[in-house]
Amino acid sequence: MHTEAEIARASAAWIWFPRDSEHERSALQLVRYPARFGGGVRGSQIASELDAAAVLDHAIARTRAWGEERLVVWTNAADNPDLEDELRRRGAVHDDTLTVFARPVPGDPIAVPEGRAAQVVQTLQDVRDVDVVNVAVWDQAPLDEGGLRTEFAEVAADAAAGTGARVLARIDGSPASTGGCTIVDGFVRLWGAATMPRFRGRGAYRAVLAERLRVGAERGARTALVKGRVETSAPILARCGFTAYGEDRSYVLAV
């Protein structure tokens, strides 16, 4: 397993650029999200010699220049400077907290209830079912036919390259839970886990988690890295052998 310092660096380096997003790297990483994901701008990975006020001024100006009205800033212990006090001073609202977790791969088996299993996404129908879960859980717009085929091509390319996978669990034939994983520098990053509300508490999330750890081990990962919401997945991850290594916090600012 990686060291605590390596885990902290890997967590701070982790960022997502949605398809069709725009991004800029300066005093911090800014990403303009497409309308399908609710739009707005996400800021993270703060690294600058400027003070907190100047960094935030820049982020606000860029958000406005993009024509957006909502700036979400993710903070963590690696930031320089720390923006949290300045965000609160300007009226930003603390919106979310993620616990950074890691555990060895493969490590102890995940206890999955009998009759529950997940599979790697391999077909266009699998992608359709993943989208059903994501739309319901993340309140995002559904993919059209072209978007589904583009998504399927990306899934197939990741699988062929051995760099990642999507996983899907069904209950009684209905899509119940999904999640993705990406292999980076010996880590398997676990992301995008979502479970349909009516299927929560029935083992689908654990099945998706176990399958992603299997994929990570198969592709040479030594450490699983995941960021779990304090109110939802964090308690499950702690019970599944993950150790906490800090927190990421988000603040929302109307600009």
List the chain residues with pLDDT less than 70: none
Alpha-carbon span 84 to 185, nearest angstrom: 30
> How many domains are contained in the chain?
2
- pTM for the whole structure: 0.93
Report pLDDT digits (tens) over 81-91.
999 999 999 99
Cβ atoms of residues 53 and 43 within 8 Å: no
What integer pLDDT is reported at residue 77 of this predicted model? 92
Last residue of a domain, one of 58, 73, 98: 98
161, 180: one domain? yes
Q: List residues bridging with 118 in a β-sheet.
A: 169
What integer pLDDT is reported at residue 4 of this predicted model? 96
The radius of gyration of the chain from alpha carbons, rounded to an integer in Å, stands at 18
What integer pLDDT is reported at residue 218 of this predicted model? 96
34, 80: one domain? yes
In this structure, which long-range contacts are made by residues 146-149, counting pairs with CB atoms below 8 Å and at least 24 apart in sequence? 148/124, 149/124
117, 205: one domain? yes
Report pLDDT digits (tens) over 139-183.
899 999 999 999 999 999 999 999 999 999 999 999 999 999 999
Here the CATH number for the domain that contains residue 110 is 3.40.630.30
